[in-house]
Amino acid sequence: MQTKPLTLKILDVASIIVLAISTYLALVFAPTEAVMGDVQRVFYFHIGTAWVGLVGFVLAAGTGIAYLVTKDMKWDRLEVAAVEVSTVFFFITIVLGSIWARPAWNTWWTWDPRLTTAAVTELIYIAFFMLRQGIEDPERRARFGAVYALLGGLSAPITFMVIRLFRTIHPIVVGSGQGEKLPLTSDMRVAFFFALFAFTVIFIDLMWHRIRLGSLEEKVEQLKLNVSM
């Protein structure tokens, strides 16, 4: 295994810096929201983590297809890295959302379309890891993982559309819909877009580390195989 590339080292430092700046922007710089008060500040990280969470899941479905077509293990490593990092971020999204929902909706959890879809998506990707754990052959593990990531990526949007038939109370920031709108002031926008940027950097950094770990794992597996033979 080569030593850590310089770019990755720089990215590590950059991740810490942008996280610090983003924290400052969210907690101090952004004005306090008039109706909801300080608890609204959780929103910046909520969106940031949700964004990278979703990017990861879409990436996983894409790399799944790429693996099935090329049978190149590098896509598998990318897929596992994407799902693993995204599952954690998505969990953070759900927890942060709950923290916000408690004062705003007076409940930790409600079966709102977005919340339900988030929960189902999280369960799909936990199942993804349970599936992979049960398979020893790395090639088959990669194949099944790719198929399942693809199914999960297709099923989640349909879940969302179905649950939307029931009513929603989740605020809408991006895109259109009939839900409650959340107007952002310009300072809020700065904090908002910086949070998106910060989490994207952190996501790439963590992905890179996980991919390196993946190739290390593969090497160990190979060495174990050599010893036993």
Residues 6+ apart with CB under 8 A from 144: 131, 132, 135
Number of other residues whose CB lies within 10 A of the CB of residue 228: 6
Interface segment toward other proteins; rule CB under 8 A; list 30-38, 130-138, 174-182, 201-209? 130-138
- 184 binds other proteins, rule: CB under 8 A: no
Q: Considering only residues 48, 53, 56, 152, which one is a binding residue for other proteins as defined by CB under 8 A?
A: 152
Which structure tokens are listed for 167?
């009513």
Is 199 in contact with 89 (CB distance < 8 Å)?
yes
Interface segment toward other proteins; rule CB under 8 A; list 11-19, 79-87, 132-140, 192-200? 132-140
Select from 147, 145, 122, 121 the least CA-distant residue to 132: 145
- 146 binds other proteins, rule: CB under 8 A: yes
Which structure tokens are listed for 99?
């923290």
- 131 binds other proteins, rule: CB under 8 A: yes
One character per residue 7-46, x = contact with other proteins (rule: CB under 8 A)? ----------------------------------------
Q: How far is the CB of 128 from other proteins (least distance, A)?
A: 9
Window 155 to 174, contacts with other proteins (CB under 8 A): 155, 158-159, 161-163, 165
Q: What is the C-alpha R_g of the chain?
A: 20
Is 113 in contact with 166 (CB distance < 8 Å)?
yes
Nearer to other proteins, 107 or 133 (CB): 133
Tell me how far apart the alpha carbons of residues 164 and 156 are, in angstroms, rounded to a whole number: 12
Which structure tokens are listed for 213?
């770990």
Binding site for other proteins (CB under 8 A): 68, 120-121, 123-124, 127, 130-131, 133-136, 140, 143-144, 146-148, 150-152, 154-155, 158-159, 161-163, 165
